[in-house]
Structure 1
Amino acid sequence: MDISWVENTFNIEDAILLAAMCHQANLLFEEGEEEPILPNGFKLRYIICALAGVEDPESEVFGFIADSPDEIVMAFRGTDSFKDNESDQDLYQVTYPFARNAGKTHRGFTCIYQSTRDKLIRELNKLSIRKRLLITGYSLGAALSVLAALDIAVNTEFRNPIVYTYGSPRTGDPNFAYRFNQTVKNSIRIFNVHDVIPTLPAQAYPPPFTEEGLYYQHVQKDYPLSFQLNSIARNHFISCYFRNLSIKNPDYTRKLCANNPGFCPDTEVCVPFEGICSENNSILTWKECIMHCDKEPKLTGRIVLPEDSQYNVARQEFNTFFNRFPLVIVFAQETQDVVNAVRWARFWDVPIRMRSGRHSYEGLSVVDAGIVIDVSEMKRVEVDRKHGTATVQTGLRDFELYEILGSYGLVVPAGLCPTTGIAGFTQGGGQSSLSRPLGLAIDNLLEVEMVDANGNVLYANANQHDDLFWALRGGGGGNFGICTSFRFRTYQIDTVAYARLNWDLRDLKPVLRVWQEYTVSGADERLTPLLTIASGQLSFLLMQGVFLGSAKELRRLLQPLLQAGSPQEITIEEIPWLEAVSLIAATQPTSPEPFKSVGPFVDRLLPDEAIDIIQCFINNPPTSSVSVFFHGLGGAVAKVPNHATAYFYRNALSNMSFFATWSTPEGAALGIRWVEDFRQAMLPFTRGVYINTPDLAIKNWPEAYYGSNFKRLTQVKAKYDPKNVFTYPQSIPPAH
């Protein structure tokens, strides 16, 4: 009999009951009890024993199976011995052995489960499949319950196990998470946003950690709690999970505990630890501690904590594939707020991430259990007409900068996407619709205000901290400090010629052959050509471009392209600069969505072989929407030497970006694979990768992003952040 339930439906009574079951599983091991205390109606059926440890595994009790007339409960305990810790730390991955095409899982967890698996399945199969099967685990046991649930759903008649985990570490790679989410339809991952264990293992250990790197992802579905007890241990105790769940249904909890003496955990320890942040012998709440302690650095600005109603909106990234839960988010209102946040994070040894527009492709501007220092509410602009400059705070988005400066009749070459933050955009180089005539954003950057790892404010320009100024121009955001303002050179532009040409995808080959000729040396630098090739729910082949000249000149310049294929739409006109920016922005993603993308450089004309590969991938979209975007470079970009700034690939003709998004969870693995396969297929025809399109799957990322500039970047890092405070996957390390 196949019993079905609504997918991922949270039931508070189940959550409370199973938290107590996990507590009993812990007691079996901690206190050497022969049997757990079970609620009325439940009978013990089996004690789960497994081998823990790496080099000399030892048999330990890990939990039990019990049942009632209607339900079966399989409960696993958390980490509780030296051998358990050995297994926890064995984070290398093995192929999940109990289901086909299920990715890889944590080796230490998998070995524990594998050692007990056959006996566990045999005992489970003795019980009635007419009963609800509830699988639960805490900490290490949560990972075991995830491994067991997929195995049971695939290999037994219990097709629909219900899973509740508490404080679970990550168990496997994205392919495992995808297969689990597809198969185990009712799984709830309960976690405290202040608990460290759910942040482990890290999402990525890129090469050279291993040859291919290790990648981890949580299974669905998240159910966050927020209780800060000023103690790593207390924030993780199963008793404290139980207490905070019981608050949501106190009547049920009272009856459960009263009717079953000894079953519920003692929650007296679940109060804030008194050794931290005391003032006048009185204990402060976590929120008071953050903002009001006199002896420690204070956080200022707009503070968002996990218990605040705006927390979920505040933590959201543009790439919704990533789902992270920071300890605190600081929306800085001025530079001093950034200074205070850095000093606070250093004092409490809290991981730091900085954020401007939330557009990090790999979700690197948010971190679990850390602080996010967000400058997006710092938007002041000062225009100096006499010197032709504009000083802008780094919270501005691309289109906001265009609009504000446009009111003065001025332009700074910012990005194509209207919602990208200028902080990360600029530090990565800054490719725009004016790149060929005006160069990159960094080529027009005159000075940077930055808060360093000690909370000091530095000014970097050609005469002051010139080594840092070099690194901030192309070294990528988040490596050296938190940039709070930029001073740019401005240009007076009122009207431009704008082109928009549209073809059917069948014209891809002839159009791309001709389009790329507009990026070569000698081509008119007044035009920066763009080309989008999209398929899926919407399929089109679209060329756009801004030309610093007349519409008549542009039409004459585009004659070869107008004769390529059969254009379905031809628009060539003179329009205000801001209108041209708006038309280009309208073709860019504007709303948060899950996606995978990466952007290698093209440094020579693509041969027919390469164009055939592009057509093959575009004609076979695995998800709801895929695309390739070409951004014409050369011109003024190429006139700056490769080593003059940290942006290395100056001689590239264009930057091409592979992009996949999906409308269903199962599309994630397909989209990610499509992008990676596409990147690999184009390696013979591309060189390097634009740092603003990071990809954690890239093995030799230092060369891919920075070429031969990487060594100098590590030296600058060692000077300005020797303790590597600003660190994240693929961040620049300090030179030794």
Structure 2
Amino acid sequence: MNFKGTIFYKGEQGYEEARVGRVFNHLRPKRYPIAVFFPEDEQDVIEAVKYANENSFKIAIRAGGHSWAVWSVRDEGILLDLKKLNNISFNSETKIVKAQPAVRNLDLSPYLEQHGLMFPGGHCPTVALGGFLLQGGQGWNARGLGWAAEYIEAMDIVTAAGKLVRADATQNTDLYWAARGAGPGFFGVVTCFHLRTLPHPKAMMASTFIFPTSEAEPILKWMQEIHASVSIKVEMVVIGQTVPELEGVSGSNIPVIIVHALTFDDTEEESRKSLAPFENCPVMEKAYVKKSYYFTNFKEQFDLQLEANPEEHRWSVNSAWLEGSPENVSKTLSPAFITLPNPKAFSLWYSMAPLRPIPDTMAFSLQTDIYFASYVLWEDENEDEHNKTWLKNIMNHIEPITAGQYLGDSDFRAHGRKFVSDANYQKIQQIRAKRDPKRLFHSYLANPDTVINKNDFEINV
């Protein structure tokens, strides 16, 4: 094997750091690959895949290590850590950016901004492109700009046979289709993404309102009633969280409901018009804080995300695509926003309305007009059971309004949920049977009795 990079075999010094040192979730898995490979370049990836084939080892892939369930750390086989595949280049004529899988949103956003461009990457700046794009890519203003995977013009992929190929709309179209939505079930190693970019918005503005938790249900109901009519230049969210303190409010660690609207317009006039509907919140007189029409930028928004997503914490996260009337959804969902298990946890309501059709040219295929996710983080391992149980109970509670989930915020070991259409899941498996007949690549991490791509609460009903 002509591998130039570094290899750490189980039992060797440095193995444990190689195994989980780049794992964001400090709820570390007790799963142990035979070795961790750090390739230097694409040729090293090819060598590693050939080595795995020759020795009948399975392969799991890590781009950034940010998956909540830690998809990449599996028992036995090889963990292929793409840490060093982090190059970016830009074609000023085509406006296509080439980015390798370990490139983070924190790297790509300022790089493109200097060219007057943006890419609808992930909100959390430390997330890498690899897993994010393979799962569909719910990025900035997805309700207006669409899924980040839609912006993939081409991919360079090392196949299970150890060959480097280009996949796009004209060649290796099966891989191009499957890679955009199969997530950790994809059967190849993407070594480079060729991404279409967009003009950078010239007048990003926001409005933020903070309310007591008593207003959670009416706010969730009102947001669902209006969100389809709000300009598609606006990203709109409702957040349930705890803030350390608020001016004019006694005490500390105050549970609140936050409404945050962010525009992607090009003029102040357009941004103000886009944000105007939020001034009509029916419980505005109850607001602790009312901050309207202020200018912002990606750096400020990333800083907020870094604050909400700190390093060195234990995490339990899950999500759901929701459907139902505003009355039913708001009533069913509000406990997730007002009963948080600790002061660091937070829950998110995210609008996707008016719902854009998903192109049939990619595997990603499941969405509704409301996305919900709950992010439970803590530091003390003695609190593991308390926090995981709270999230499990919340996800069970919202089953009547759940249609499925997004792979990026999922853990099949906690809840089995649908993430693509039935037809697309079958097609993914058919392509895999052709492209990876020996099942060289690990697939979805789940419990032995989990039926993949099924809502577990609907099985045997």
TM-score under structure 2 length normalisation:
0.85
| Residue deviations 1:480-499 (CA, integer Å, cap 9, x gap) | 21111111111111431223
Letter in 2 for 1:713: I
**Percent identity at matched positions?**
20
Q: Does residue 4 of structure 2 align to residue 319 of structure 1?
A: no
Alignment partner of 1:677 out of 393, 396, 411: 393
Alignment partner of 2:3 out of 299, 305, 312: 299
Partner of 1:482: 189
> What is the distance in 2 between the residues matched to 1:469 and 1:453?
15
Q: CA deviation at 1:662?
A: 3.2
Partner of 2:163: 456
List runs of 5+ in structure 1 lacking aligned partners.
Answer: 1-296
- Equivalent pair of 1:623/1:670 in contact (CA under 8 Å): no
SS of 2:232's partner is: coil
Q: Does residue 179 of structure 2 align to residue 509 of structure 1?
A: no
| Residue deviations 1:114-161 (CA, integer Å, cap 9, x gap) | xxxxxxxxxxxxxxxxxxxxxxxxxxxxxxxxxxxxxxxxxxxxxxxx
> What is the distance in 2 between the residues matched to 1:623 and 1:512?
22
Partner of 2:330: 611
Letter in 2 for 1:677: N
Alignment partner of 1:568 out of 288, 291, 296: 288
Partner of 1:395: 102
> What is the distance in 2 between the residues matched to 1:627 and 1:474?
26
Partner of 1:423: 130
| Residue deviations 1:179-234 (CA, integer Å, cap 9, x gap) | xxxxxxxxxxxxxxxxxxxxxxxxxxxxxxxxxxxxxxxxxxxxxxxxxxxxxxxx
Q: CA deviation at 1:715?
A: 1.1
SS of 1:639's partner is: coil
Partner of 1:58: none
Q: Residues 12-31 of structure 1 correspond to what in structure 2 (within 5 A)?
A: none
List runs of 5+ in structure 2 lacking aligned partners.
Answer: 244-252, 453-461
SS of 1:558's partner is: helix
- Equivalent pair of 2:312/2:379 in contact (CA under 8 Å): no
Letter in 2 for 1:571: K
Alignment partner of 2:316 out of 586, 589, 596: 596
Larger gyration radius, structure 1 or structure 2: 1
Q: Residues 156-171 of structure 1 correspond to what in structure 2 (within 5 A)?
A: none
Q: CA deviation at 1:573?
A: 4.1
Q: CA deviation at 1:582?
A: 2.3
> What is the distance in 2 between the residues matched to 1:477 and 1:345?
18
Of structures 1 and 2, the one scoring higher in RCO (CA 8 A, sep 6+) is 2
Q: CA deviation at 1:313?
A: 5.9
Q: Residues 495-644 of structure 1 correspond to what in structure 2 (within 5 A)?
A: 495-520=203-228, 522-535=229-242, 539-549=255-265, 550=268, 551-561=271-281, 563-564=283-284, 566-573=286-293, 575=295, 577-607=297-327, 609-623=328-342, 625-635=344-354, 638-641=356-359, 643-644=360-361
- Equivalent pair of 1:416/1:588 in contact (CA under 8 Å): no
- Equivalent pair of 1:417/1:588 in contact (CA under 8 Å): no
Q: CA deviation at 1:326?
A: 3.2
Alignment partner of 2:406 out of 690, 707, 720: 690
> What is the distance in 2 between the residues matched to 1:660 and 1:585?
15
SS of 1:531's partner is: strand
- Equivalent pair of 1:301/1:330 in contact (CA under 8 Å): yes
| Residue deviations 1:233-283 (CA, integer Å, cap 9, x gap) | xxxxxxxxxxxxxxxxxxxxxxxxxxxxxxxxxxxxxxxxxxxxxxxxxxx
SS of 1:601's partner is: strand
> What is the distance in 2 between the residues matched to 1:518 and 1:338?
49
Letter in 2 for 1:645: M
SS of 2:408's partner is: coil
- Equivalent pair of 2:363/2:420 in contact (CA under 8 Å): no
Partner of 1:121: none
Alignment partner of 2:366 out of 620, 643, 649: 649
> What is the distance in 1 between the residues matched to 2:344 and 2:143?
29
SS of 1:460's partner is: strand
SS of 2:183's partner is: coil
> What is the distance in 2 between the residues matched to 1:553 and 1:358?
40
Partner of 1:666: 382
Q: Residues 143-182 of structure 1 correspond to what in structure 2 (within 5 A)?
A: none
Letter in 1 for 2:333: I
- Equivalent pair of 2:178/2:186 in contact (CA under 8 Å): no
SS of 2:286's partner is: coil
Q: Which moved more, 1:572-581 or 1:315-324?
A: 572-581
Partner of 2:429: 714
- Equivalent pair of 2:27/2:315 in contact (CA under 8 Å): yes
- Equivalent pair of 2:230/2:277 in contact (CA under 8 Å): no
- Equivalent pair of 2:46/2:158 in contact (CA under 8 Å): yes
SS of 1:541's partner is: strand
> What is the distance in 1 between the residues matched to 2:3 and 2:217?
56
- Equivalent pair of 1:544/1:584 in contact (CA under 8 Å): no
SS of 1:517's partner is: helix
| Residue deviations 1:445-468 (CA, integer Å, cap 9, x gap) | 111111111211121111111122
Partner of 2:56: 349
> What is the distance in 1 between the residues matched to 2:20 and 2:49?
18
TM-score under structure 1 length normalisation:
0.55
> What is the distance in 1 between the residues matched to 2:3 and 2:377?
37
- Equivalent pair of 1:687/1:704 in contact (CA under 8 Å): no
Q: CA deviation at 1:390?
A: 0.9
Q: Over aligned residues, Cα RMSD in angstroms?
A: 2.6
> What is the distance in 1 between the residues matched to 2:238 and 2:298?
20
SS of 1:362's partner is: coil
